[in-house]
Chain A
Amino acid sequence: MIHFVLLISRQGKVRLTKWYSAYPQKERTKVIREISGEVLARGPKLCNFVEWRGLKVVYRRYASLYFCMCINQGDNELEVLEIIHHYVETLDRYFGSVCELDLIFNFHKAYYILDELLLAGELQESSKKTVARLIAGQDALVETAKEEANSISNIIAQASK
């Protein structure tokens, strides 16, 4: 199972954190600091796994961003690399060649996509198409709600003139 997902920039800034195991808030800060220290210090040609507190952190660098997932000792590290890539491809498809700025300004979108991909620390969907469809469906729902709200406020505005 995946205990948590971290997105850390090259400068050590946190871009996304998702916790599937219970880490109290204070502990989270410590974990993030430890993991960024370990992962950012590693050279480019080394393997993508770091052993940490009896668990394993699988990480992969995409441009300036490190995607890290923490798993149990016995889990399949190679598969987790695929899951990371799967997530990145889904993001890419959604944002259209995603970059760090997309994830900063639309961090909530990145979370929504992750929530369609992983749940309870396990993979939920292996089809990028399905994920895209589900997100699009929900985004549409939000849009219609917004339009409704706008039209209502327009009506109110007109009525109160």
Chain B
Amino acid sequence: MERGVGFHRYRRHAKSSSASTMVLPNDSNNNTTCNGDQQAPPPPPPPPCMVREQDQYMPIANVIRIMRRILPSHAKISDDAKETIQECVSEYISFITGEANERCQREQRKTVTAEDVLWAMGKLGFDDYIEPLTVYLNRYREAENERNTSHGDQLLFLKRGMEINHHGPIGMPPPYGSGYPMGHFSGMLDAAAAMGGGGYYRDLAGSGASSTAQNALASFDPFVQFK
């Protein structure tokens, strides 16, 4: 099936020096005019044999998963709709990034930041996204700060202790007692563990943890649930 190629993406291919942009099906080392060569004169339109490079798109399974959140369960999605939306996402990223990058250049900065991205979205009409994205970004930053400070490590560790531990006393301060709402937290911790919670324990073991944490370490094995 011949597929239309986005205008913008074609232009980027023409400028790009990356070897991965255009591939012929039978010979991946073939340096024909299909290659995006910066020195060559403007190349002819991409030949029908061009293979769709997957690494310039979001993985289609992820795209479909997000689509299914919106669609009713009986809805079906044609393959061309899936691919079209997949292409639209990449085009969206390029579109916003282009605007953000122009702003960086005007202000003589080299790095495109999260703020630049948010600004570009506002400028290009995606204002509705700004608030939820700002909330998301702030939560991410909070979580990073928690991870990066030793206080955060202890805090996380103590909370894990509450979650896993029924082996014995930890010596936790009163706020973490029985009145503390922990029900919904377990899911989060499991996910955090999957994400790399093991790293916290390595750090904690190596760092100068407080005596509270160390006593807790001695009394039970925090990994028992995760082995």
Decide whether A and B are members of one complex: no
Which A residues have a C-beta under 8 Å from some C-beta of B? Answer: none
Interface residues of B (CB under 8 A from A): none
